[in-house]
Structure 1
Amino acid sequence: MGNRRRVAERRRTRPAMVGGMVAVVVGGAGFGVYALYDGGAAAEGRAATAASAKAKAVKTGPLSATEVTTAAQGFLTAWQQGRVTQAAAVTDDSAAATALLTGYTKDAHITGVTLTTGTRDGDKVPFSVKGTVTYKGISKPLTYDSALTVVRRTADGKPLVDWHASVVHPDLQDGDTLVTGESGTPPVTALDRHGGEITAAKYPSLGTVLDGLREKYGKTAGGKAGIELQVVRGKAAKAKKASDKTLLELSKGTPGTVKTTLSPIYQAAAEQQVAKQAKASVVVMRPSTGEILAVANTNHGFNTALQGSLAPGSTMKVITSSLLIDKGLASADKTHPCPKTFTYGGWKFHNDDDFEIKGGTFKASFARSCNTAFISQSGELENDDLTKQAQQVFGLSMNNWAIGVPSFDGAVPVQSAAQKAASLIGQGGVRMNPLNMASVASTVKSGVFHQPYLVSRSVDNRTLATASRTMSGSTLSQLRELMQYTAAYGTAAEAMSGLGPDYGAKTGSAEVDGQDKPNGWFTAYRGDLAAAGVVQAGGHGGDTAGPIVASLLRMGG
């Protein structure tokens, strides 16, 4: 009797068997660790049966509130306790998470971390971070807000933190690191064109500009480095021309001084204007010199105005028109086809609401932004014609602008068939930003390309980009006529009302996959001012970007 009881007790205290596996729970971490104890054909059969059952039981569908909260808390708790391996295991990229979380303490010297969750919003969980940065006896508190998103892993249905570097800090891009130490680049004090100090507190849009100025001129502007917590950009961010960013200053360095071309009056006005839209960007410049007077974005994390890469829509028709006129394929006052639709390269291109102009001139087609008037000329053009025009006349798409801070100088790739046709109306592979399109308007106004710049070349003797040729007098006068007519009577007339007669404009709307409304574009000049803007997902450019640009041109001076 006693022997049978002891046998039964031993059976009851054996580890739990799961499909031929012994489940052992590691205390504290809460993760299941499994090991096979018995083998042979029978075990393999049981394992196969269990695997099959498990495969059938993989959970799919939306995550529950409990799944999201549990995964988030598991990750944040492990991170706060310094258990990097366990925290990384709750993400969908444990290697990247391990590296960044290890560096958080080792390289960034952040300790005493407290993580507090906010209110869950679907699969997203916001949280606040409090910690201390200590380096060579100097300590400062660090506080910021971040967020994570929980996703379901396809293979087994497990809820995991969707890993991105921005989880650790919102200013991080994937591949970036956090480092505390003596900054390799001294700080700079940026000045406007009148000698006033430029700060991100005064002009929120210029945070990325200030970062770029420091990166380029910090070592040569006469300053001395301090001790800082910095975002050090990785390969991916550097490819996008993102600059390193200071998050916390432990000890002040001595700043050098860099003077810019920015106007405090225009900059302040530009900041106010973009704030009226959810996602707007604008650039103001002088056609006669190339000086950039203002740069503003509604969203301050990325400088879309200088570094954006967006399809410019019908504002591209300024460049395309110059090409067609150059080649004798269009003339401002001559009759030009504008059918409802036109098929080229297997694609059927439409006008807005399928309008048509019967017996109208090219000027009328430009003013109403008739797509088919341009698409219909595709067959007369070589694949590289538009690319050459953009490069040789407008100085674009050669990756050689040197404005003083990181920028993107547009892309007009060589394309064929339908994509070539789409490029003529600013779709296909064409990519621009407000700086590029302000430069296009400036080239039309001045008659020659002046590379835009934010810092005078006299500061560092850098080489500015040039165009290899100018438009003929006939082409230039017709292009100005087209833009003037559009500002007076076309799609830009409402926004440009009262600003003539020395003016010109072009509107644009660029369709974006997965976006309900197109991006609205507007580029224009008036006197010795040119400006361009985009409102992403804003709709027609004349209604959204137009008022922003026109209000700045209205300031004159």
Structure 2
Amino acid sequence: MGNRKRVAERRKTRPAVLGGVIAAVLAGAGGAAVYALYDGGTPAGDATRAAAAEKKAKTGPLTAAEVSTAARAFLTAWQQGRVADAAAATDDAKAAEALLTGVVKDARIEDLTLVPGTPAGNKVPFSVKATVAYEDTGKPLAYDSALTVVRRAGDGEPRVDWHASVVHPALADGDRLVTGEAGTPPVKALDRDGGEITAAKYPSLGTVLDGLREKYGKTAGGTAGVELRVVRGKESKEKKLSDKTLLELREGTPGTVRTTLDPALQAAAEEQVAKRARASVVALRASTGEILAVANSGHGFNTAFQGSLAPGSTMKVVTSSLLIEKGLASVDKKHPCPKYFSYGGWKFQNDDEFEIKGGTFRASFARSCNTAFISQAPKLKNDDLTKQAQQVFGLSMNNWSVGVPTFDGSVPVQSAAPMAASLIGQGGVRMNPLNMASVAATVKTGTFHQPYLVSPSVDGRRLATASRTMSAATLAQLRELMSYTAASGTAAQAMSGLGGDAGAKTGSAEVDGQEKPNGWFTAYRGDLAAAGVVQAGGHGGDTAGPIVAELLRQGG
């Protein structure tokens, strides 16, 4: 009863306001300016808006004062529980009011204190402290967030650019915060050796743990507790994002799920991606598809499993298998590699506009000659690459059952120039490190083994299969191409010193509006296959290459 009474009394109080005002230090032009968020402060009302509408819309960069005033209006109103006023201080009042109302009614968040930080341009960071109260239980909640001020369309007035992430950085637009009895019990995830997997130990695995709970929580033998959690909306579900626990008010009893992760390789993967921004890597056992490690330097989204990025020249592994099967290329036969090749109205070129005169397909693959592949587009059908990716490599069918959400690659049927671009991993082709590690594994073993994180024996699920394998002759040539590239081509520096039965392919994927390309690398050594990407990093051999090679070294 004592706890219940204290929580009830707390609910009757108004949100905390220090000394009647909330002091905030916000940076202004030429130094720091001190502002006070006073009780009763509101954004512009209807009359003010009407008057402003008669004036010419404001344009130009926002001033420091405009940023500070807009941020102050929003944060003051939100802290004081004036939801409509807080929503009016944004550029999407309807969406803002719906989510902010839910923070109180559904998330049971109260006693809110918001402390703004120093702005960086139009962005204002702020800290959040509050209490989450449910029945006779209350727990403190603290986190950091940020808002951005923009000019509102139409009148140019400064307003908070509304996104759900303003309320909490774990929220995507359309998501909600809910406190209550969790519908899904927690899980205790184990590595292949029986050690417990936690996000504290392996920061990259937070989203993986969320996915494991969503998939196995109801069948792993646990009981649900009471939690504040992110409940995903339609857009997030389409992206296969899992619900996420933010605060546990009453512990549930976790069930147990064993994974295929190797603790030593996982630790190495975490260490490697931490060296570069926006890096992701996956390592798996080629002969079985067991996922041994997955890591991302950014922990909010699992790019390694769910990314959808143009794979650049690493896709040439798949394309080469197609060209060899069709008799359009052979390792030691002459093959064109001009500076330029035009097809479908597009003019394609090689990196630094190089050419190989009188060279073989081996030389073109090892140096990653774009035009060597584009030049074969006139001899191919629009669906040839799509069929090759699906039938031989098990990609682009959206049927992998890994144990957590994944994106299984996409190789759409295209025509003309986009079809030609797809041959070099551009156009509409989209992959992630999991997909490309699987490609390397298929070359190593000769057969597609769908990657998995939880053994299918746990729940009796069926893994995806490919409808056919490459001929022995094609497979032998493909292995020779990747082996030569690892020893003497664009992958040689990264793979130096590894030795053994190894093969690799580098890639660089151009992205509109991005100064440097995404760097890709896929490789195998022994029974280990791995792939990585460093977004906006530059050439794959210099960026993703060392990450992948180190895992192959440690896993060997």
Normalised by the length of structure 1, the TM-score is 0.92
Rounded Cα–Cα distance in structure 2 between residues aligned with 1:493 and 1:528: 20
Looking at structure 1, the residues matched to 323 and 382 of structure 2 have their Cα atoms a distance apart, in angstroms, of 14
Q: Does 2:154 align with 1:165?
A: no
Distance in 1 between residues matched to 2:43 and 2:547, nearest whole Å: 55
For residues 353 and 552 of structure 1, the distance between their equivalents in structure 2, rounded to whole angstroms, comes to 30
Match of 1:5 in 2: none
1:29 CA displacement: 3.1
SS in 2 for 1:113: strand
- Name the counterpart of 1:377: 376
Determine if contact 2:41/2:73 at 8 Å carries over to the other structure.
no
C-alpha distance in 2, partners of 1:35/1:307? Answer: 47
- What residue number does 1:62 align with? 61
- 1:126 pairs with 2:125: yes
Report the equivalent of 1:305: 304
Is the partner of 1:480 in helix, strand or coil?
helix
Correspondence for 1:84: 83
- The one-letter amino acid of 1:74's match is A
SS in structure 2 opposite 1:58? coil
> Could you tell me which amino acid in structure 1 is paired with residue 44 of structure 2?
F
Q: Could you list the per-position Cα deviations for residues 472-516 of structure 1 after superposition, in whole angstroms to 9, with x for gaps in the alignment?
A: 011000000000000010000011112224110000000011111
- Counterpart residue type for residue 212 of structure 1: G
Q: How far apart, CA to CA, are the structure 1 residues paired with 2:132 and 2:241? A: 24
Distance 1:35 1:487, change over 3 A: closer
Gaps of 5+ in 2: 1-38
Name the % identity. 79
Select 1:29's aligned residue among 42, 52, 55: 42
Q: Deviations over 1:290-337 (max 9, x none)?
A: 000000000000000000000000000000000000111000110000
How far apart, in 2, do the equivalents of 1:395 and 1:447 lie?
12
Q: Does 1:111 align with 2:124?
A: no
Report what 1:333 is aligned to: 332
**2-structure distance, mates of 1:542, 1:460:** 39
Aligned: 1:486 with 2:485: yes
Partner Cα distance (1:501, 1:191) in 2: 31
Residues 472-511 of structure 1 mapped to structure 2, 5 A cutoff: 472-511=471-510
The number of residues matched between the two structures is 518
Deviation per residue, 1:32-82 (Å, 9 max, x gap):
33399xxxxxxxxxx9xx89x935x22100000111100000000000010
Equivalent AA in structure 2 for residue 226 of structure 1:
G
Amino acid at match of 1:32: G
| Paired position in structure 2 for 1:151 | 150
Query: Map of 1:266-345 to 2, 5 A cutoff?
Result: 266-345=265-344
Partner of 1:430: 429
Larger Rg belongs to: 1
Query: Is 1:142 paired with 2:155?
Result: no
SS of structure 2 residue aligned to 1:198: coil
Task: Call closer, same or farther: CA 1:531–1:35 in 2, change over 3 Å.
Answer: closer
Write the deviation string for residues 358-411 of structure 1: whole angstroms up to 9, x where unpaired.
111001100000000000000000000000000000000000001000000000
In the TM superposition, what is the alpha-carbon distance from 1:555 to its structure 2 partner?
1.5
- Assess if the C-alpha contact under 8 Å between 2:41 and 2:76 holds in 1: no
Structure 2 CA distance for aligned equivalents of residues 29 and 498 of structure 1: 66
**How many Å apart are 1:431 and its aligned residue?**
0.3
- Is the Cα contact below 8 Å between 2:146 and 2:166 reproduced in 1? yes
Residue 325 of structure 1 aligns to a residue whose secondary structure is helix
Supply the AA of the counterpart residue of 2:54. Answer: K
**1:153 CA displacement:** 1.5
Residue 10 of structure 1 corresponds to which residue in structure 2? none
Q: C-alpha distance in 2, partners of 1:243/1:336?
A: 48
CA distance change for structure 1 residues 357 and 27 in 2, over 3 Å: closer, same or farther?
closer
Q: 1:213 — aligned with what?
A: 212
Partner of 2:452: 453
Give, in whole Å, the separation in 2 of the partners of 1:235 and 1:376: 42
SS of residue in 2 equivalent to 1:129 = strand
Counterpart in the other structure of 2:14: none
CA distance in 2, matches of 1:213, 1:408: 16
Q: Which amino acid aligns with 1:198?
A: I
Deviation for aligned residue 1:342: 0.3
Residue 251 of structure 1: aligned partner:
250
Local SS of the residue matching 1:242: coil
Partner residue in 1 for 2:6: none
Measure the CA separation in 2 of the matches of 1:382 and 1:459.
Answer: 42
Cα pair 2:192 2:259 within 8 Å, conserved: yes
The 2-side partners of 1:35 and 1:543 are apart by 57
Cα displacement string for residues 203-244 of structure 1 (whole angstroms, at most 9, x for unaligned residues): 000000000000000000000000000000000000000000
Which residue is equivalent to 1:402?
Answer: 401
Partner of 2:241: 242
Is 1:75 aligned to residue 88 of structure 2?
A: no
C-alpha contact (below 8 Å) 2:337/2:357 kept by paired residues: yes
Structure 2 residue matching 1:445: 3-state secondary structure:
helix
- Which deviations, in whole Å up to 9, do the C-alpha atoms of 1:80-105 show, x marking residues without a partner? 01000111011111111011000000
Deviation per CA, 1:402-425: give whole Å up to 9, x if none: 100000000000000100000000
Distance 1:27 1:195 in 2: 57
Distance in 2 of aligned mates of 1:163 and 1:407: 29
